[in-house]
Structure 1
Amino acid sequence: MDKSEAGTGVRQDSVLEVRVDLVDSEPEIWRRFELRGSLALSQVHRVLQAAFGWEDAHLHRFVTSDPFAPLRPVDGEFPEVLQWLPGQDCEEPGDRPEEDYYLDQLLTLGSGRAFYEYDFGDSWLHRLELVSRRPADEDSPPAKLIDGARRGPIEDSGGFPGYEEIVDALADPSHPDHAEHAAWVADMTGSEALFDPGFLDIPAVNRALAEHF
């Protein structure tokens, strides 16, 4: 363990209130959770997949700073960029196995903030921000969604430009691509029901989280 990781071990477990938003979403797509700080990052990955409706069909990673922001040299040298990935995907010197690190550790290293990127093609970037913490008790569930807005984008929709194009076409029956996009969305979601991008079923998410944990 290098000095950037020293002193970040989880001692007494805490319940962390964490707000997660999809960067660049407009209107904003966000979630607010109560999460145990002792959750391994591999478990946090599963929480975010369930809460945003992802299907775990693509690569992902955790980082402590915006991965798309320009790097700034420190004392004339660029610092090592750490990222947390599934153990089998760790190949570079800065890679860390997500199974061996905890949410509290990641947020401590990021001074209360971290990022989770899912699907390196569409680049769905989630920003995690620590809101508050309290001691955990035996009744505290590992993960609970307490608030949020809007459903997550559809898998493989092409990032926000592609997703917004699909949503616009679905909302306008006279749009030349309406029928094509409606058929694609029905196939991807497995439902012929009217697609509502503003809908978020919090109880359903919490049932899914209860099944995971």
Structure 2
Amino acid sequence: MADIRLRIELLHTDPLVWRRVVVPEQINLHRLHELIQDVMGWADCHLYEFECNGRFYGEPDEWSDRPIALSRNAKLKAVAARAKDNAFHYLYDFGDGWEHRIVIEETALEKSDPCPRFIDGAMACPPEDIGGTIGYEALKAAVAGESDEHGREILEVLDGQFDPEALDEAEIADMLVPFQASFRRLGDAPREPRSVLSEPSQALDMEQSLKAQGIHSMEALMQALQKESDKNRK
């Protein structure tokens, strides 16, 4: 199983919010969605959708106005092979409309351990439910001390705490530990080789025991068992 290096960019942000990761090429798009949530800093509270060359992947529902393939059935390797200009897109929260571009930087990398893993990135993820990039720009303006009423309202909801440049790499690494374990590249203890002598030796001991009792064939064994059964019924 080879690896793929991806750069995930949150579009329409300035400075750009982005992350770089290495993932197994066999990861499916639903698991990639979960990974994006963790490395970006989203809370996985809303719907999502991938798009590659006019094909959409996500969680199909009766309200969808276009065909959507089940993301669990789509492998990153196959999607990457069809991606035009080595990129495809990921939309999170259909209300706020957080658009991401996923750039395929390199494929067929040698399998690495642990994997998936975070490489680098920049800027904090916007908070959830702030009205998309418009709300995010207003929030940053308020943090910078500008008189943006909308931004001050958002900042107040956040208890006045938000650093747009903060990126907690240690927290991201911790979030990826379950992923690494699920791909059996972290914490795998070597499996103990099964003894090739235990079962044959047990069979040999039984054979020797039967021969000592004068039983040298299956027919003789069945007769002995029947005799013992008849004896117990008396």
TM-score range, shorter chain: 0.7 to 0.9
What do residues 137-191 of structure 1 show as CA deviations (whole Å, max 9, x unaligned)? 3x533311101000111101111111111121133186656764333113xxxxx
Pairing 1:18–2:2 present: no
Report sequence identity in percent.
Answer: 27
TM-score, structure 2 as length reference: 0.69
| 1:168 aligned counterpart, secondary structure | helix
Once residues 153 and 105 of structure 1 are traced to their aligned partners in structure 2, the CA distance between those partners, rounded to angstroms, is 30
**Normalised by the size of structure 1, how large is the TM-score?**
0.75
State yes or no: 1:32 paired with 2:5.
Answer: no
| Partner Cα distance (1:25, 1:197) in 2 | 11
Query: How many angstroms apart in 2 are the aligned matches of 1:174 and 1:113?
Result: 38
Q: 99, 107, 110: which one pairs with 1:125? A: 99
**Aligned residue identity for 2:168:** D
What amino acid is the match of 2:98? W
User: Residue in 2 aligned with 1:163?
Assistant: 136
**Bigger CA drift: 121-130 or 81-90?**
81-90
Q: How does 1:3-152 map to 2 (within 5 A)?
A: 13-65=1-53, 81-87=54-60, 94-111=67-84, 112-137=86-111, 139-152=112-125
Larger radius of gyration: 2
Return the alpha-carbon distance in structure 1 between the equivalents of residues 12 and 21 of structure 2. 20
Measured on the aligned residues, the alpha-carbon RMSD in Å equals: 2.3
* Distance in 2 (alpha carbons) for counterparts of 1:93 and 1:136: 37
Q: 1:113 to 1:180 in 2, by over 3 A?
A: closer
For structure 1, the residue ranges without an aligned partner over 5 or more in a row are 1-12, 66-80, 187-191
5+ unaligned residues in a row in structure 2: which ranges?
183-234
User: Structure 1 or 2: larger helix share?
Assistant: 2
For the structure 1 residues 88 and 136, does the alpha-carbon distance in structure 2 shift closer, same or farther, using more than 3 Å as the test? Answer: farther
Report the number of matched residues.
Answer: 179
Go from structure 1 to structure 2 and tell me whether the alpha carbon gap of 1:123 and 1:181 turns closer, same or farther (over 3 Å shift).
closer
Residue 167 of structure 2 is matched in structure 1 by: 200
Q: Larger deviation: 161-170 or 32-41?
A: 161-170
Please give the secondary structure, in 2, of the residue aligned with 1:209: helix
Deviates more, 1:13-22 or 1:166-175: 166-175
Q: 1:186-197 counterparts in 2 under 5 A? A: 186=159, 194-197=161-164
Q: Which has the higher contact order (CA 8 A, sep 6+)?
A: 1
Q: Which amino acid in the other structure matches residue 94 of structure 1? A: P
